[in-house]
Amino acid sequence: MPTSRRSRRRPYSEEPPPLDLERATGGRSTQSRGGEEWVVQRIREGAKEYVCPGCHQTVAVGAEHVVAWRTDGIMGAAAALADRRHWHSSCWQRAR
Ligand SMILES: [Zn+2]
């Protein structure tokens, strides 16, 4: 049965972005936001463009930003990771 938590719009395609976390890591932390636990990974240099869910503007290639995903996604950790979003660092801070 579909759930509301899975209904967030994907701006582009269903294809998940490549796993570029390992080579561009700038530190990972777990943060609590709205009662939900999120893994927040800092990306020093984005490998491609993303659309920030905070301001709906482009996160430019090469820009430092953060990628965040739920640690307690009801669809499981793998699904939560596949549903991760890239944010401008400032937008993520503001959204908290
Ligand atoms: Zn933004």
| Selection from 26, 31, 58 nearest residue 45 by Cα | 26
Check whether 81 has a pLDDT greater than 90: no
Output the CA–CA distances (angstroms, integers) from residue 34 to 13, 15, 45, 68, 92, in the order listed: 27, 28, 28, 14, 13
Whole-number Å distance, alpha carbon 44 to ligand 1 midpoint, is 16
Whole-number Å distance, alpha carbon 95 to ligand 1 midpoint, is 10
Highest-pLDDT range among 4-18, 51-65, 70-84:
51-65
Q: What is the mean pLDDT of the chain?
A: 81
pLDDT in tens, 29-70: 889 888 888 999 999 999 999 999 999 999 999 999 999 998
Check whether 27 has a pLDDT greater than 90: no
**b/e string for 57-89 if b means 16 or more Cβ within 10 A?**
eebeeebebbbbbbeebeeeeeebbebbbbbbb
Whole-number Å distance, alpha carbon 89 to ligand 1 midpoint, is 7
**Whats the size of the chain, residue-wise?**
96
The pLDDT value recorded for residue 36 is: 87
Separation CA 50–CA 75 (nearest Å) = 23
**Residue 7: which H helix or E strand, with range?**
none
Residues with CB under 5 A from ligand 1 (ion): 52, 54-55, 88, 91
